[in-house]
């Protein structure tokens, strides 16, 4: 049977249990469908004997009236139980006289050993068969039951079906019903839905509710009969009016689905109320939700909460969890969450962990929080897996363990959690082994395919050989261009700049400055300073129509006004001699640049370092050469180059990472005002990469980087005060302050 969508599984099982053979395995269905007879007089005999003075019936019985003999036997068994032997003797006389009901009753007594009679299966079957030959349809049904269950010796399903058909043909309603169900489901007979509908129709007319219900279902599904929701609805209504619970449920389903012109929600509500009042938690839960969300008309919050609480008290975990979020006091909310969690409801386990982690309605206890997180995580709850990963990464309550952090992040990422994918991509990227690089690429692709333009841009850099960790082993300009175009279509300025660079450098496309210019212009219009600076270079160094010093000046000034650190760096670079050491074709004359760099020209050294790092501007990628020139520039006090040296050591671009050396260079760069170095120092202190974890120092460096208007630092502070990290308490006011700072390029006073 089909439950309407919002009905919980348990309620479906409840209703299905009332459908007798429908929900049972095929081999057991008929046995359970045919009711077993109790070993009692009342169940053995068909109906009360006719009324009247017993003496009148005794007189007729003494004259050989077999019907009167049966009546006397009945009356003696009903009114004079001490005269059992006399009653049985009288019943035997009636059977001998050919009264069919007596033949059937006497056969049952011998077959089942009722009234302490010795069982005689053979004689019992003979008497029941005599009754059937006398026209007693019920006798054929009794034989069908006996052969099915093995009460007439060994179970014989073929004989059972034979007698069942005889009973149905003779008009026995229950036989018609069971035969119809067997034909519908193909139990011990060839499945024949049309024939099944015939027998069920006859049984339904005779008042068999299960047959009428099955027939209605066949009309609603078009099984063996023409599909007719209207007729099905009529049959369900007749049964529901008589109090037949499965029909009420099916009627409610049709109402919910709008089938058979069933637009009134009253039957649905009536069914749920009846089941809820009977103590079924699923029904109370559905009724409460329906009243809360206005499914039965206008929302009824008070009544909805009352039914939701009824379901919760009946240990319905979804109701307990939902009730917890209905504006209750924190302490009461935690009580319901704990009840749902102890019943194994995973979202409640995670929510309870959150309550303990933040002391919301319960005393803060991070260890207990972790225990609940772990329960939920082990069941596959993504948020819990992500929380455990973060704690392992940060060493909060749990011992710091990068490997376990990655394990839990991977579990969450595999379920589609994008934050975990990003964490994995970032953390695996710094691992030295190739397998980690491959997995990093996998997660980057997942994010890119999900439409994240930043990762589409990153993939373009990977395939163009501009991602140092991947080198050029994946070089594929066609793939790079494809990903850059996808990112650019979403307005990613960096990807637009890369497409411009591709046309300038000939990466997978012919060199064509006229194709590059529109991409740079699009990036510039989005506020990307690199687009402005590239346009400035084109118009300053170009020949013929492209040579326009005034345009070059305008683009360069706009880039500088943006306040972007890279723009300032590139603008300064364009002002130094190295920028002017370009040929008329717009290519750097590297021998001249290298000569100046060897003579100590700072800008030449930085230009060489950048070109070797990125493998562009006409030089092959060479991390050792890039490092060499950055060191030379750093030794002259250039903070940006100091940061580049530190980053190279930190990432291990030249082999094994050197965290101590990286920290030393980052500190020098930070003293020189480089905010990226400050951010790197904050990260190193937070993760305990050089000595013990030091949240205070991490926060201090973050504050300094944020004061220098480093956007990443500002965004990190938003999370620090939102989640209560770095030993800080959650502080909504500070969150609001730093969020405002993130939207502004102008530093403001500290909170």
User: What is the reported pLDDT for 546?
Assistant: 79
Distance CA 269, CA 167 (A): 41
User: What is the reported pLDDT for 718?
Assistant: 86
* 393: number of Cβ within 10 Å: 21
User: What is the reported pLDDT for 38?
Assistant: 29
pLDDT over 70 at 279, yes or no: yes
DSSP state of 82: G
Of 66-80, 383-397, 439-453, the one with minimum mean pLDDT is 66-80
Pull the structure tokens for residue 171.
């008009």
State the pLDDT confidence band at 42, using cuts at 50, 70 and 90: very low
Share in percent of the chain as helix, strand, coil (round to 5): 70, 0, 30
* 301: number of Cβ within 10 Å: 12
- For CA atoms 549, 550, 553, 554, the dihedral sign is negative
Asked if residue 522 lies in contact with residue 503, where contact means CB atoms within 8 angstroms, the answer is: no
Distance CA 92, CA 99 (A): 10
Q: What is the mean pLDDT of the chain?
A: 83
Distance CA 390, CA 477 (A): 36
Reduce the secondary structure of 15-73 to three states and give it as a string.
HHHCCHHHHCCHHHHHHHHCCCCCCCHHHHCCCCCCCCCHHHHHHHHHCCCHHHHHHHH
Distance CA 725, CA 683 (A): 13
Pull the structure tokens for residue 350.
């995670």
Residue 691: which residues within 8 A CB-CB, separation 6 or more? Answer: none
DSSP string, 138-151: HHHHHHHHHHHHTT
Question: Nearest 5 degrees, angle CA 584-CA 536-CA 616?
Answer: 65
Pull the structure tokens for residue 425.
């991509």
What SS3 state is found at 588? strand
What SS3 state is found at 445? helix
Which range has the top average pLDDT, 225-229, 273-277, 488-492?
488-492
Mean pLDDT of 529-546: 81
Alpha-carbon radius of gyration of the chain: 43
**What is the reported pTM?**
0.50
Cα–Cα separations (whole angstroms), residue 573 to 19, 602, 607: 83, 10, 8
State the pLDDT confidence band at 203, using cuts at 50, 70 and 90: very high
Of 15-24, 55-64, 286-295, 420-429, the one with minimum mean pLDDT is 15-24
Higher pLDDT, 173 or 54: 173
How many separate helices (H) and strands (E) can be counted in the chain?
43, 0
Distance CA 15, CA 26 (A): 19
User: What is the reported pLDDT for 583?
Assistant: 54
Question: Nearest 5 degrees, angle CA 378-CA 380-CA 384?
Answer: 75
Residue 338: which residues within 8 A CB-CB, separation 6 or more? Answer: 348, 352
Asked if residue 362 lies in contact with residue 334, where contact means CB atoms within 8 angstroms, the answer is: yes
Asked if residue 291 lies in contact with residue 303, where contact means CB atoms within 8 angstroms, the answer is: yes
User: What is the reported pLDDT for 24?
Assistant: 24
Question: How do residues 80-94 score in pLDDT, each as one tens digit?
Answer: 667 788 889 989 999
pLDDT over 80 at 744, yes or no: no
Helix axes 732-742, 711-723, angle to 10 degrees: 160
* 47: number of Cβ within 10 Å: 7
pLDDT over 90 at 436, yes or no: no
pLDDT over 90 at 302, yes or no: yes
Cα 500 off chain centre by: 42
pLDDT over 50 at 669, yes or no: yes
pLDDT over 70 at 481, yes or no: yes
pLDDT over 60 at 574, yes or no: no
Mean pLDDT of 403-431: 90
User: What is the reported pLDDT for 542?
Assistant: 74
Distance CA 116, CA 108 (A): 13
User: What is the reported pLDDT for 174?
Assistant: 92
Pull the structure tokens for residue 217.
């279902």
Asked if residue 338 lies in contact with residue 354, where contact means CB atoms within 8 angstroms, the answer is: no
Distance CA 476, CA 482 (A): 10
Higher pLDDT, 46 or 90: 90
Question: How do residues 340-366 score in pLDDT, each as one tens digit?
Answer: 999 999 999 999 999 999 999 999 999
User: What is the reported pLDDT for 30?
Assistant: 31
Reduce the secondary structure of 711-743 to three states and give it as a string.
HHHHHHHHHHHHHCCCCCCCCHHHHHHHHHHHC
Q: What are residue 582's phi and psi, to 5 degrees?
A: -110, 145
Of 204-218, 613-627, 633-647, the one with minimum mean pLDDT is 613-627
- For CA atoms 157, 159, 162, 168, the dihedral sign is negative
State the pLDDT confidence band at 557, using cuts at 50, 70 and 90: confident
Mean pLDDT of 622-631: 90
DSSP state of 191: -
State the pLDDT confidence band at 43, using cuts at 50, 70 and 90: very low
Distance CA 14, CA 271 (A): 13
**Bridge partners (DSSP) listed for residue 582:** 588
State the pLDDT confidence band at 31, using cuts at 50, 70 and 90: very low
pLDDT over 60 at 25, yes or no: no
User: Of 294, 291, 284, 293, nearest to 318 (Cα)?
Assistant: 284
Cα–Cα separations (whole angstroms), residue 107 to 74, 119, 139, 445, 595: 15, 10, 9, 79, 120
Asked if residue 97 lies in contact with residue 60, where contact means CB atoms within 8 angstroms, the answer is: no
Mean pLDDT of 610-633: 86
- For CA atoms 682, 413, 379, 330, the dihedral sign is positive
Asked if residue 707 lies in contact with residue 742, where contact means CB atoms within 8 angstroms, the answer is: no
State the pLDDT confidence band at 643, using cuts at 50, 70 and 90: very high
User: Of 102, 96, 97, nearest to 73 (Cα)?
Assistant: 102
Distance CA 491, CA 480 (A): 17
pLDDT over 80 at 745, yes or no: no
User: What is the reported pLDDT for 12?
Assistant: 33
User: What is the reported pLDDT for 544?
Assistant: 62
pLDDT over 70 at 36, yes or no: no
Mean pLDDT of 617-634: 88
């Amino acid at each position: 049977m089909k439950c309407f969508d919002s009905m919980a599984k348990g309620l479906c099982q409840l209703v299905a249990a009332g459908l007798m053979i429908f929900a049972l395995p095929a081999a057991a269905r008929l046995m359970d469908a045919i009711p077993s007879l109790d070993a009692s007089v009342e169940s053995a005999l068909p109906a009360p004997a006719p009324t009247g003075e017993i003496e009148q019936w005794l007189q007729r019985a003494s004259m050989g009236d077999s019907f009167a003999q049966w009546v006397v036997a009945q009356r003696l068994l009903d009114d004079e139980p001490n005269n059992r032997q006399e009653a049985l003797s009288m019943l035997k006389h009636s059977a001998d006289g050919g009264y069919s009901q007596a033949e059937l009753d006497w056969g049952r007594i011998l077959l089942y050993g009722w009234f302490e009679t010795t069982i005689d299966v053979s004689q019992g079957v003979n008497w029941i068969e005599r009754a059937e030959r006398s026209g007693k349809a019920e006798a054929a049904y009794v034989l069908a039951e006996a052969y099915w269950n093995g009460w007439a010796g060994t179970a014989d399903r073929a004989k059972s079906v034979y007698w069942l058909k005889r009973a149905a043909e003779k008009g026995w309603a229950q036989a018609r019903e069971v035969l119809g169900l067997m034909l519908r489901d193909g139990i011990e007979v060839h499945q024949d839905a049309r024939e099944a509908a015939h027998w069920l129709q006859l049984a339904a007319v005779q008042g068999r509710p299960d047959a009428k219900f099955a027939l209605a279902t066949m009309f609603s599904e078009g099984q063996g009969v023409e599909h007719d929701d209207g007729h099905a609805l009529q049959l369900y209504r007749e049964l529901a009016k008589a109090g037949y619970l499965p029909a009420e449920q099916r009627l409610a389903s049709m109402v919910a689905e709008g089938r058979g012109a069933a637009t009134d929600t009253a039957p649905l509500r009536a069914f749920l109320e009846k089941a809820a009042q009977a103590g079924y938690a699923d029904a109370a839960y559905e009724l409460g939700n329906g009243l809360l969300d206005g499914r039965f008309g206008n929302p009824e919050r008070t009544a909805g909460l009352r039914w939701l609480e009824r379901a919760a008290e009946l240990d319905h975990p979804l109701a307990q969890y939902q009730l917890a979020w209905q504006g209750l006091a924190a302490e009461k909310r935690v009580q319901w969450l704990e009840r749902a969690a102890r019943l194994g409801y995973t979202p409640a386990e995670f929510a309870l962990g959150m309550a303990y982690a933040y002391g919301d309605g319960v005393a803060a206890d991070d260890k207990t929080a972790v225990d609940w997180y772990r329960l939920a995580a082990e069941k596959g709850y993504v948020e819990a897996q992500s929380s455990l990963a973060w704690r392992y990464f940060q060493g909060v309550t749990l011992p710091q363990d990068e490997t376990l952090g990655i394990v839990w992040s991977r579990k969450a990422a595999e379920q589609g959690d994008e934050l975990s994918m990003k964490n994995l991509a970032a953390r695996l990227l710094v691992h030295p082994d190739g397998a980690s690089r491959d997995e990093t690429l996998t997660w980057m692709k997942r994010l890119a395919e999900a439409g994240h333009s930043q990762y589409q841009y990153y993939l373009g850099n990977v395939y163009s050989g501009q991602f140092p960790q991947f080198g050029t082993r994946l070089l594929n300009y066609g793939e790079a261009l494809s990903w850059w175009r996808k990112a650019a279509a979403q307005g990613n300025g960096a990807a637009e700049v890369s497409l411009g660079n591709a046309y300038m450098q000939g990466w997978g496309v012919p060199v064509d400055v006229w194709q590059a210019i529109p991409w740079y212009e699009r990036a510039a219009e989005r506020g990307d300073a690199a687009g402005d600076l590239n346009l400035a270079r084109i118009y300053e160094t170009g020949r013929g129509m492209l040579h326009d010093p005034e345009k070059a000046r305008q683009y360069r000034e706009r880039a500088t006004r943006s306040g972007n650190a890279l723009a300032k760096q590139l603008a300064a670079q364009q002002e130094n001699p190295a920028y002017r050491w370009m040929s008329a074709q717009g290519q750097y004359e590297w021998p001249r640049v290298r000569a100046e760099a060897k003579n100590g020209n700072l800008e030449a050294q930085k230009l060489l370092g950048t070109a070797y790092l990125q493998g562009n501007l006409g030089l092959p990628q060479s991390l050792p050469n890039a490092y060499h020139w950055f060191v030379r520039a750093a030794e002259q006090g250039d903070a940006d180059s100091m940061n580049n040296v530190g980053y190279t050591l930190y990432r291990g671009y030249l082999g094994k990472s050197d965290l101590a050396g990286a920290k030393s260079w980052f500190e020098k760069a930070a003293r020189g005002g480089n905010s990226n170095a400050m951010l790197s120092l904050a990260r190193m202190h937070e993760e305990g990469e050089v000595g013990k974890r030091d949240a205070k120092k991490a926060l201090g460096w973050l504050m300094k980087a944020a004061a220098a208007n480093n956007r990443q630092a500002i965004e990190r502070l938003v999370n620090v005060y939102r989640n209560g990290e770095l030993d800080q308490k959650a502080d909504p006011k500070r969150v609001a302050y730093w969020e405002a700072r993130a939207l502004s390029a102008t530093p403001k006073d500290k909170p």
